[in-house]
């Protein structure tokens, strides 16, 4: 039996008032992902993912960090469930590691890998926490990358078979599934910018991958619907306004193009049935008769991940003609340089509601920092509390203006492997002391607990 987590009885924190405009059944959650927290990379039959290989390539990840151990969630999941229960969250969004359940990506299932997710789901349900499962958060089995990965049209069938396995094993207890997390990120960073695996810069592979991920989404939706009557299905997209570094025609054109790849390349075909015009032309060589109908399958909600506006500038020397740019120094920024702009969040929610006409869950929002704890590991992360509180205010403004927002998941429960930034960049409500794997709730964990309690009580001080 896991003892109740310590650290929630720390210093009192400012409590957000009960948020009167949110639905009584508003979902309060936290999010994580498999490669970023599980560890046990070569344990109990797990096969390698593209991130295992990529993170072990010298120079790819800050400080030479990898996800080999991460937060050791594979072994410490019960302790992490206890943290969520103490916080009072109603839902936990996590991802299944495809290579943990299908080491070769296809074929024989790995029963020990499936057993982990059984234990996790059972533990969550016993704690009164609803499991929300994302099928893909970037950790493609390396064996499938060796067969062409997402650039191979057959990847849609591989993904549908994987979805079928997960549905058959977890679908009796899991009622919320998302197909992909942020396909706009992993396709752009993996097939154009070289910041993610497979780290190629190739127009044909990039545009084929976009289309095949969309086909995989539609195929998985059909499988989940067929296997799990009454299940609630969604897609999780990064949605952030794209701003030109300078208001020149070239930078504005760059921003418009990045907007297509970043915000529209997946939600538009999956929900509206068509690519943005520029992308449609570039993806046309990979589109077969009936594909757009295969992609646009009915879903129940749209998950939006939002942190800040992003910036683009023209770059004639790059294949796509644009380059990613940091936020200007003069705007309010978080400790890791991301712009803080709650109004942009409110407007993103309103625009998405208007454009896609689906219930929205904010499936990621949070603030990163390269923070350190005191001698006891305690972190008084008042800047993170301020960020989260202001973004919840903006969410509430969007609801007041008619946005159908039904839930909010903080990224993240734990400090974790932040991709190229490794472990230096911390997003957790709970600090992880990696040498000891000790979990230490931050002030923001106490704040989130109090915020949820105030909402649940419906109290309006
Ligand atoms: C993403 C991913 C998360 C990140 C988080 C902070 O949005 O990039 O979903 O895995 O860790 O967003 O960058």
Q: Ligand 1 centre from 369 Cα, in Å?
A: 13
Q: What's the CA dihedral at 445, 451, 456, 460 to 10 degrees?
A: 160
Q: Ligand 1 centre from 203 Cα, in Å?
A: 25
Q: Ligand 1 centre from 186 Cα, in Å?
A: 10
**Residue 27: which H helix or E strand, with range?**
strand 27-31
**Residue 181: which H helix or E strand, with range?**
strand 176-181
| Pocket, ligand 1, Cβ cutoff 6 A | 33, 36, 181-182, 185, 238, 305, 364, 411, 418, 427
Number of domains the chain is built from: 1
Q: Which is the closest atom of ligand 1 to the Cα of 138?
A: 10
Give the span between the Cα atoms of 16 and 26, in whole angstroms: 16
Q: Which is the closest atom of ligand 1 to the Cα of 366?
A: 6
Query: Is residue 134 a contact partner of residue 95, using CB atoms and an 8 Å limit?
Result: yes
Q: Ligand 1 centre from 418 Cα, in Å?
A: 7
Within 13 Å and on the Cβ side, how many CA atoms surround 200? 17
Whether residue 20 lies inside any domain: the answer is: no
Regions in the chain scoring below 70 on pLDDT: 1, 10-12, 14-18, 20, 458-461
Give the span between the Cα atoms of 350 and 353, in whole angstroms: 5
Which runs of E-coded beta strand occur in 328-456? 360-365, 405-411, 430-433, 438-441
Ligand 1, atom 4, residue with closest C-alpha:
418
Whether residue 209 lies inside any domain: the answer is: yes
State residue 206's pLDDT score: 98
Query: Is residue 142 a contact partner of residue 99, using CB atoms and an 8 Å limit?
Result: yes
Residue range 11-69, pLDDT digits in tens: 667 666 667 678 889 999 999 999 999 999 999 999 999 999 999 999 999 999 999 99
Query: Is residue 335 a contact partner of residue 371, using CB atoms and an 8 Å limit?
Result: yes
Instruction: Take residue 343 and report the two structure tokens written for it.
Output: 């109004």
Give the span between the Cα atoms of 189 and 214, in whole angstroms: 17
Ligand 1, atom 5, residue with closest C-alpha:
411
Q: Which is the closest atom of ligand 1 to the Cα of 427?
A: 6
* DSSP code, position 124: H
Whether residue 218 lies inside any domain: the answer is: yes
Rg of the chain taking only CA atoms, in angstroms? 21
Q: Ligand 1 centre from 185 Cα, in Å?
A: 9
Whether residue 3 lies inside any domain: the answer is: no
Pocket test for ligand 1, best of 188, 195, 364 (most atoms within 8 A of CB): 364
Instruction: Give the CATH number for residue 423.
Output: 3.20.20.80
Q: Which is the closest atom of ligand 1 to the Cα of 418?
A: 11
Instruction: Take residue 55 and report the two structure tokens written for it.
Output: 């993170």
Query: Is residue 139 a contact partner of residue 49, using CB atoms and an 8 Å limit?
Result: yes
Q: Which is the closest atom of ligand 1 to the Cα of 416?
A: 11
| Backbone angles phi and psi of 304, in degrees to 5 | -115, 125
Whether residue 261 lies inside any domain: the answer is: yes
**Residue 185: which H helix or E strand, with range?**
helix 183-191
Query: Is residue 237 a contact partner of residue 305, using CB atoms and an 8 Å limit?
Result: yes
Residues known to be catalytic: 182, 364
Whether residue 5 lies inside any domain: the answer is: no
Which residue range is the domain that position 77 belongs to?
27-455
Q: Ligand 1 centre from 305 Cα, in Å?
A: 8
Pocket test for ligand 1, best of 49, 305, 362 (most atoms within 8 A of CB): 305
State residue 461's pLDDT score: 37
Whether residue 135 lies inside any domain: the answer is: yes
State residue 8's pLDDT score: 83
Whether residue 123 lies inside any domain: the answer is: yes
Query: Is residue 123 a contact partner of residue 35, using CB atoms and an 8 Å limit?
Result: no
Query: Is residue 187 a contact partner of residue 136, using CB atoms and an 8 Å limit?
Result: no
């Amino acid at each position: 039996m896991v003892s109740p987590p310590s650290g929630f009885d720390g210093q009192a924190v400012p409590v957000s008032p009960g948020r009167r405009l949110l639905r009584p059944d508003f979902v309060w959650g936290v999010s994580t992902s498999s490669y970023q927290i599980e560890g046990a990379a070569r344990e109990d039959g797990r096969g390698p993912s593209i991130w295992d290989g990529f993170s072990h390539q010298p120079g790819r990840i800050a400080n030479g960090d990898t996800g080999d151990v991460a937060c050791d969630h594979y072994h410490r999941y019960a302790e992490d469930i206890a943290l969520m229960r103490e916080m009072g969250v109603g839902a936990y969004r996590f991802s299944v590691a495809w290579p943990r359940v299908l080491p070769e990506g296809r074929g024989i299932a790995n029963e020990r890998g499936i057993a982990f997710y059984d234990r996790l789901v059972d533990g969550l349900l016993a704690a009164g926490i609803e499991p929300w499962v994302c099928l893909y958060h970037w950790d493609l089995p390396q064996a499938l990358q060796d067969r062409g990965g997402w650039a191979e049209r057959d990847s849609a069938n591989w993904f549908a078979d994987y979805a079928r396995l997960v549905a058959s094993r977890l679908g009796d207890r899991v009622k919320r599934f998302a197909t992909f997390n942020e396909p706009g990120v992993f396709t752009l960073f993996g097939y154009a910018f070289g910041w993610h695996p497979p780290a190629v810069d190739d127009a044909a592979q990039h545009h084929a991958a976009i289309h095949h991920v969309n086909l995989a989404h539609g195929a998985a939706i059909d499988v989940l619907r067929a296997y799990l009557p009454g299940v609630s299905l969604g897609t999780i997209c990064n949605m952030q306004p794209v701003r030109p570094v300078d208001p020149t025609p070239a930078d504005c054109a760059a921003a418009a193009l990045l907007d297509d790849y970043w915000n529209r390349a997946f939600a538009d075909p999956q929900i509206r049935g068509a690519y943005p015009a520029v992308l449609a032309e570039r993806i046309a060589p990979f589109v077969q008769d009936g594909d757009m109908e295969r992609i646009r399958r009915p879903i129940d909600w749209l998950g939006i991940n939002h942190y800040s506006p992003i910036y683009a500038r023209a770059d004639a020397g790059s294949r796509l003609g644009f380059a990613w740019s940091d936020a200007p120094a003069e705007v309010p920024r978080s400790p890791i340089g991301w712009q803080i702009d709650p109004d942009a969040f409110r407007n993103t929610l309103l625009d998405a509601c208007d454009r896609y006409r689906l219930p929205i869950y904010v499936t990621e929002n949070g603030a990163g920092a390269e923070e350190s704890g005191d001698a006891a590991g305690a972190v008084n992360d008042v800047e993170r509390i301020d960020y989260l509180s202001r973004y919840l205010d903006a969410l509430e403004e969007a609801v007041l203006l008619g946005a159908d927002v039904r839930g909010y998941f903080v990224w993240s429960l734990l400090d974790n492997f932040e991709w190229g930034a490794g472990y230096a960049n911390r997003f957790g409500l709970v600090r992880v002391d990696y040498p000891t794997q000790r979990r230490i709730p931050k002030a923001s964990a106490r704040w989130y607990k109090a915020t949820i309690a105030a909402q649940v009580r419906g109290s309006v001080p």
